[in-house]
Amino acid sequence: MRNGLQAVLASAVTAGMLLFSGMGNAAEIGAHTMKLASAGADGSPLALGMAKFAEIVKEKSGGKIKVQLFTNGVLGGDVQMISALQGGIVEMTVLNAGLLSSLDDNFVMVDLPFQFDSPKVADAVMDGPVGKTLLDKLSAKGLVGLGYWELGFRQLTNSRRPIATVEDIAGLKIRVVQSPIYIDLFNTLGANAVPLPFPEVYTALESKTVDGQENPAPSILTAKLNEVQKYLTLSNHMYNPQAVLVGAKFWAKLNEDERKLIQDATLEARDYERRVSREQASKAVDELKAKGMTVTELAPAEVEKFRAKIRPVVEKFSQKVDPALMAQAQAEIAKARAAQ
């Protein structure tokens, strides 16, 4: 009888200890305030994604983690944000992933022209092992990569003529981003690449200092470039993934439950931000057409001619990327294209 009672008591104690242990492993969320900054303009997909992220974090944390939003580059541009994260001045940012090539050459690969030909192909690579490998390389730089949102595909405009073939670009003065790969791309296509900061683009187009420029359709619309540009070519020549980053100093202050909450919120907000981005891109093209722009879509066969002409640019910049990682990316791209 005594032995039976002891067994029952032992079982009860064990069960109680397991219950207590389970309670100890419950999500532990502390009070934190995060500054999330980006160069994204109010109303842009990036800004809307940031707002969605803040909303999700507030809900998941029961209001314990507060996310302060800073848009329009008010805390600095993308390059400044990298330093701010590393220094612990800002906790989180969303920025053009290609700019991270200044920290690790392998990020050059996300800016390779005509690499992705659809959102599905881009998602397959950026959300897969290749994208993760790139983000993992940032840990040695004081940064933690949580995933990728997007700015979308860049399109080409000009004021002189429709561009339906690779030959149509010859001789045009095209404003480009102040980056070597953009300059090489358009010079190789036969244009005269003119690097300029974005705030100077409208005036340069209006004064005919340059004939054209390239940007995602929503950016073309919000900057009212249709007022000084007649022709829009849906070239999809570059895709701009946006890296979501947290400073390692801030990340080290969080426990595993808090890290998981922020990681999950980043991916949930990613799906929303991409959906908004793609919806805005489609609507922007329709609106630009309604405002009088002549819209041309490159035929698949012509896209292949573009790829053939700019192959030297791809080969030049691909040399900066780890060969095994580049091969893995190309295999993922081929697989995703085949599945479309």
Q: Where are the domains of the chain?
A: 31-339
Angstrom distance (rounded) from CA 308 to CA 189? 10
pLDDT of residue 340: 81
pLDDT of residue 99: 87
Q: List, for the chain, all residue ranges whose pLDDT scores fall below the cut of 70.
A: 1-27
Report the b/e string of 181-206 with b at 16+ CB within 10 A: bbbbbbebbebebbebeeeebbebbe
pLDDT of residue 1: 44
Residues contacting residue 80 through CB under 8 Å, at least 6 positions apart: none
pLDDT of residue 10: 46
150-204 pLDDT, tens digit per residue, is 999 999 999 999 999 999 999 999 999 888 899 999 999 999 999 988 878 999 9
Helices (H), 127-255: 129-136, 180-188, 201-206, 217-222, 248-251
176-188 pLDDT, tens digit per residue, is 988 889 999 999 9
40-55 pLDDT, tens digit per residue, is 888 889 999 999 999 9
Q: Which fold has domain 31-339?
A: D-Maltodextrin-Binding Protein; domain 2 (3.40.190)
pLDDT of residue 43: 84
Nearest alpha carbon to residue 85 among 19, 36, 24: 36
pTM for the whole structure: 0.83
